[in-house]
């Protein structure tokens, strides 16, 4: 079976995600973990890479390498971006724009721009997330199961949580090294 060339063009997302993970792991104090996980109950196992900051006040980043080829970017507890959103020729998403979106969202996360909380209502509980940084000011929300809501509140998400910036790695004394460059 031949691969669809239109879908295959999204392989660049995987390359960009690998490069981003390498850059972040080199620049910030994080632990990098790889595993095989299912993204949903009926989904096959996919490779998942996680970057866990060495401070509990900073939010983790995870990238799942999907079969599309594409990625699912997870920031903090609830922010998830599946790219491409649709790989069909009609939607015609631009891989270069998707790569830029991943970099913008990751930069906002490592700079401490992710805010999350749980809201309780008559019909149940909802998560709320905001991601604010250079080039992004976005908000998302969605329902939580009773168990997820209870676990989130136990973890401190009953009040709004603003994740801290990621701690920088100590750089060698190199006058040419500029730690202020964006990712």
pTM of the predicted model over 0.75 = yes
Q: Could you tell me if 70 and 13 are in contact, meaning their C-beta atoms sit under 8 angstroms apart?
A: yes
How far is it, in rounded angstroms, from Cα 44 to Cα 83? 17
CA distances from 52 to 29, 112, 154 (A): 9, 14, 20
For 93, the 3-state DSSP assignment is coil
For 14-37, the pLDDT digits (tens) are: 999 999 999 999 999 999 999 998
Residues in Cβ contact with 34 at an 8 Å cutoff, skipping those fewer than 6 apart:
47, 48, 49, 50
Residue 87: how many other CB atoms lie within 10 Å = 19
Give, for 142, the enclosing helix (H) or strand (E).
Answer: strand 136-144
For 124-176, how does the pLDDT look when each residue is reduced to its tens digit (9 = 90+)? Answer: 899 999 999 999 999 999 999 989 888 888 888 778 899 999 999 987 665 55
3-state secondary structure (DSSP) of residue 158? coil
Return d(Cα 157, Cα 112) in angstroms, integer: 16
pLDDT in tens, 44-72: 789 999 999 999 999 999 999 988 789 99
Q: In the predicted model, what is the mean pLDDT of the chain?
A: 87
**How far, in Å, CA of 100 to CA of 110, rounded?**
15
């Amino acid at each position: 079976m031949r691969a669809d060339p239109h879908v295959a063009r999204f392989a660049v997302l995987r390359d960009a995600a690998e490069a981003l993970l390498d850059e972040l792991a080199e620049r910030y104090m994080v632990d990098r973990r790889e595993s095989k996980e299912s993204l949903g109950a009926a989904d096959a196992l996919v490779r998942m890479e996680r970057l866990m900051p060495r401070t509990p006040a900073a939010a983790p980043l995870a990238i799942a390498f999907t079969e599309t080829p594409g990625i699912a970017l997870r920031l903090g507890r609830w922010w998830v971006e599946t790219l491409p959103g649709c790989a069909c020729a009609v939607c015609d998403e631009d891989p270069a724009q998707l790569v830029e979106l991943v970099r913008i969202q990751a930069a906002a996360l490592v700079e401490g721009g992710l805010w999350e909380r749980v809201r309780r209502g008559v019909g149940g509980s909802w998560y709320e997330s905001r991601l604010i940084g250079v080039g992004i000011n976005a908000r998302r929300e969605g329902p939580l199961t009773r168990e997820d809501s209870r676990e989130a509140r136990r973890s401190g998400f009953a009040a709004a949580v603003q994740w801290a910036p990621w701690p920088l790695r100590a750089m060698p004394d190199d006058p040419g090294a500029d730690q202020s460059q964006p990712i």
